[in-house]
């Protein structure tokens, strides 16, 4: 039995007791918060280390060999689990989730499980431990033993796991740079304690060579891990896993702390900001990178939209902000070009309207005077050779062109106000206003559509006039109104000669007329349809004539 009155024994027992209590208490706290990323591994690590530390203290304080053997046997599985738990934590901390599968964790735990079974049965084969017996070492009485082949292999395996986990943490620092400098330092500093305790335990460097400090060192290591997860509040496997993606992003990412200083930059941001930006005040380095600033902002010859997101720890404490700068230079240039074109188009429309006004005012007055003079001459002198009749026809044609130009000037303007109009009512009303002679109208179907009433009537009137002018005064016009879902279609066909297939795509162009007209009527139809967002197509009617189909009209009623 150890001399409990000796100071070294008391010191060791105090260390084991203190480490055990701290390990079990912190492990219990961590277990309640085990949903935190890495929290489960830390909880189990602390509980195993704390339990092993208490059991090692029990070995020293035990009064008989049996109690010492029981304490050693109970501590064995706890010690075997610690390297595996460390490796699982390292995988979680460094974001290696694809490596942290159930099968791989089981594979890592299998050597430890086998070692525990062999250690428990070493009395029969000595593969894990040899010559287990009480040994007096100064005031200490403890179980001494040598390592068997399996025991030596497990020690190497445990050290390999410790080194592999530490390598993953170092690699994390290389991948993320300053972002996790404090966290990686804390984890690596804690890892030194098991390494040093193992060296002291397995290599006789002085007095009490059989005394093991490993359990206490594991608890200290667990406290460092606990601090990383639950105090620093920055461990998030998903965030760590995304760091590599952030590093390779072409959009700049700027991380600022709660004090307003820049903490980290990705390479895209480093190329954008001054070399000494990290550590500097955000407002000093980048005056316009603030919440609520008008976007986009210009940086050099590039423009950026800014997305700001707060950083909070698991307790909701403000830890800073992340700024994502999206390069919208190309978008802004396209927008500027679009605005330039719209302004140019608006100026052209203004000039067209001005021209139409000039045409209407300055040409109609002399045209009216010429028409009146021709009519007066016909009444006074007659028209034996038909010259005055030809002049009157020319005047009438000029008047039609003026009307067409005026209509064309406004036909393509964007439609802002829409009316609920009955397509059947509109068609019949327009037909009743025209001089239709012997022409007939048939209307099939009806729908209430959203449209500019005046321009829809102008569109319908132009199509009716086109049918009468090209198919004759006795033309039969058929209007079909169909509806599909929330859209309606209007088709106007006749039984005239029709339009050749090769000419159907160009008859709606300005100045194109197949029958001696002004070439403006169908162009106005096309502009009105386009202004509403409708589509106009030309086809052959059932009677062999021409048919004009307007599709995409929005239905007003449900």
C-beta separation of 474 from 437 below 8 A: yes
Non-local CB neighbours of 97 within 8 Å, separated by 6+ positions: 91, 237, 241
| SS3 (DSSP) at 449 | strand
Non-local CB neighbours of 78 within 8 Å, separated by 6+ positions: 48, 49, 51, 52, 55
pLDDT given for residue 453 in this prediction: 87
Using CA atoms, how far apart are residues 27 and 415, in angstroms rounded to an integer? 71
Q: Which of 195, 207, 186 is nearest to 89 (CA)?
A: 186
Tell whether omega for the bond before 295 is within 30 degrees of 0, i.e. cis.
Answer: no
Using CA atoms, how far apart are residues 547 and 98, in angstroms rounded to an integer? 65
Using CA atoms, how far apart are residues 214 and 195, in angstroms rounded to an integer? 9
Separation in Å, CA 92 to CA 41, 97, 165, 181: 9, 6, 10, 17
Separation in Å, CA 353 to CA 183, 238, 318, 453, 532: 71, 62, 60, 21, 20
DSSP H or E stretch at residue 374: helix 364-381
Using CA atoms, how far apart are residues 443 and 157, in angstroms rounded to an integer? 91
pLDDT given for residue 17 in this prediction: 92
Q: Which of 237, 194, 289, 231 is nearest to 95 (CA)?
A: 237
C-beta separation of 49 from 215 below 8 A: yes
Separation in Å, CA 220 to CA 22, 42, 52, 53: 9, 12, 13, 11
Non-local CB neighbours of 66 within 8 Å, separated by 6+ positions: none
**Which structure tokens are listed for 469?**
């002018």
pLDDT given for residue 7 in this prediction: 86
Non-local CB neighbours of 519 within 8 Å, separated by 6+ positions: 509, 510, 511, 512, 513
pLDDT given for residue 238 in this prediction: 43
pLDDT given for residue 168 in this prediction: 86
- In tens digits, what is the pLDDT along the chain, a chain of 558 residues? 677 888 888 888 898 999 999 999 999 988 888 777 678 889 999 999 999 999 988 888 888 888 888 988 999 999 999 999 989 888 887 777 677 788 888 898 999 999 999 989 988 888 888 888 887 877 888 887 888 899 889 989 988 998 998 888 888 776 655 555 677 788 888 888 888 887 776 665 556 666 788 888 989 998 988 888 877 654 444 444 455 556 666 788 888 877 778 877 878 877 777 777 777 777 776 665 554 455 677 777 777 777 778 877 555 667 778 888 888 888 778 888 888 887 887 777 677 666 666 666 566 667 667 677 767 777 777 777 777 777 776 666 666 666 665 665 555 556 667 889 999 999 999 998 888 878 999 999 999 999 988 888 888 988 898 888 888 888 999 999 999 888 999 999 999 888 888 877 777 776 555 555 555 678 888 888 888 889 999 889 888 898 999 999 999 875
**Which structure tokens are listed for 385?**
């050779």
pLDDT given for residue 46 in this prediction: 92
| SS3 (DSSP) at 131 | strand
pTM of the predicted model as reported, rounded to 2 decimal places: 0.47
pLDDT given for residue 514 in this prediction: 54
What DSSP character marks residue 232? Answer: S
Q: 365-373: which pairs have CB atoms within 8 A and are 24 or more residues apart?
A: 367/395, 367/398, 367/399, 367/402, 370/395, 371/395, 371/396, 371/399
pLDDT given for residue 532 in this prediction: 84
pLDDT given for residue 478 in this prediction: 94
Using CA atoms, how far apart are residues 262 and 265, in angstroms rounded to an integer? 8
Using CA atoms, how far apart are residues 331 and 314, in angstroms rounded to an integer? 38
Strands annotated E in 30-174: 129-137, 140-147
Q: Which residues pair with 548 in a beta bridge?
A: 492, 538
Q: Which of 302, 234, 292, 241 is nearest to 268 (CA)?
A: 302
pLDDT given for residue 236 in this prediction: 46
| SS3 (DSSP) at 554 | strand
Half-sphere exposure of 61 (CA within 13 A, CB side): 14
């Amino acid at each position: 039995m150890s001399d409990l009155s000796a100071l070294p024994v008391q010191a060791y027992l105090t260390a084991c007791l203190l480490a055990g209590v701290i390990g079990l208490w912190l492990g219990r706290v961590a277990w309640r918060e085990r949903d935190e990323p890495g929290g489960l591994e830390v909880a189990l690590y602390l509980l195993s280390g704390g339990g092993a530390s208490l059991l090692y203290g029990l070995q020293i304080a035990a009064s008989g060999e049996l109690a010492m053997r029981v304490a050693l046997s109970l501590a064995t599985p706890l010690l075997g689990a610690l390297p595996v738990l460390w490796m699982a934590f390292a995988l979680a901390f460094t974001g290696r989730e694809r490596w942290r599968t159930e099968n791989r964790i089981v594979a890592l735990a299998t050597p430890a499980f086998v070692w525990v079974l062999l250690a428990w049965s070493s009395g029969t084969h000595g593969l894990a431990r040899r010559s287990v017996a009480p040994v007096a070492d100064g005031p200490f009485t403890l179980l001494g033993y040598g390592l068997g082949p399996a025991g030596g292999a497990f020690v190497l395996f445990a050290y390999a796991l410790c080194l592999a986990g530490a390598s993953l943490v170092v690699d994390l620092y290389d991948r993320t740079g300053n972002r996790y400098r404090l966290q990686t330092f804390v984890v690596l500093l804690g890892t030194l304690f098991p390494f040093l305790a193992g060296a002291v335990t397995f290599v006789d460097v002085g007095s009490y060579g059989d005394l093991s400090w490993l359990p206490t060192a594991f608890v200290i290591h667990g406290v460092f891990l606990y601090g990383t997860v639950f105090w620093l509040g920055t461990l998030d496997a998903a965030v760590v896993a995304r760091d590599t993606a952030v590093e390779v992003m072409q959009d700049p990412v700027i991380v600022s702390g709660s004090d307003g200083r820049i903490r980290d930059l990705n390479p895209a941001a480093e190329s954008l900001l001054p070399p000494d930006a990290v550590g500097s005040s955000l407002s000093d380095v980048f005056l316009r990178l603030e919440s609520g600033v008008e976007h986009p902002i210009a940086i050099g010859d590039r423009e950026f939209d800014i997305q700001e997101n707060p950083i909070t720890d698991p307790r909701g404490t403000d830890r800073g902000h992340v700024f994502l700068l999206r390069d919208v230079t190309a978008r802004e240039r396209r927008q500027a070009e679009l605005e330039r074109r719209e302004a140019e188009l608006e100026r052209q429309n203004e000039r067209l309207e001005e021209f139409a006004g000039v045409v209407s005012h300055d040409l109609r007055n002399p045209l009216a005077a010429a028409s009146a003079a021709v009519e007066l001459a016909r009444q006074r002198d007659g028209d034996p050779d038909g010259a005055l009749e030809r002049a009157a026809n020319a005047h009438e044609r000029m008047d039609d062109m003026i009307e067409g130009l005026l209509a064309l000037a406004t036909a393509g303007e964007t439609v802002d106000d829409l009316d609920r109009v009955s397509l059947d009512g509109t068609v019949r009303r327009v037909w009743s206003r025209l001089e239709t002679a012997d022409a007939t109208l048939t209307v099939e179907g009806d729908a209430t559509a959203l449209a500019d009433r005046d321009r829809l009537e102008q569109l319908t009137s132009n199509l009716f006039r086109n049918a009468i002018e090209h198919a004759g005064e006795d033309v039969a016009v058929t209007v079909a109104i169909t509806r599909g879902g929330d859209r309606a279609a209007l088709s106007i066909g006749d039984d005239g000669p029709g339009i050749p297939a090769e000419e159907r795509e160009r008859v709606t162009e300005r100045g194109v007329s197949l029958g001696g007209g002004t070439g403006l009527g169908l162009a106005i139809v096309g502009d009105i349809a386009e202004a509403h967002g409708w589509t106009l197509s030309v086809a052959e009617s059932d009677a062999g004539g021409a048919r004009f189909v307007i599709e995409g009209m929005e239905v007003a009623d449900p």
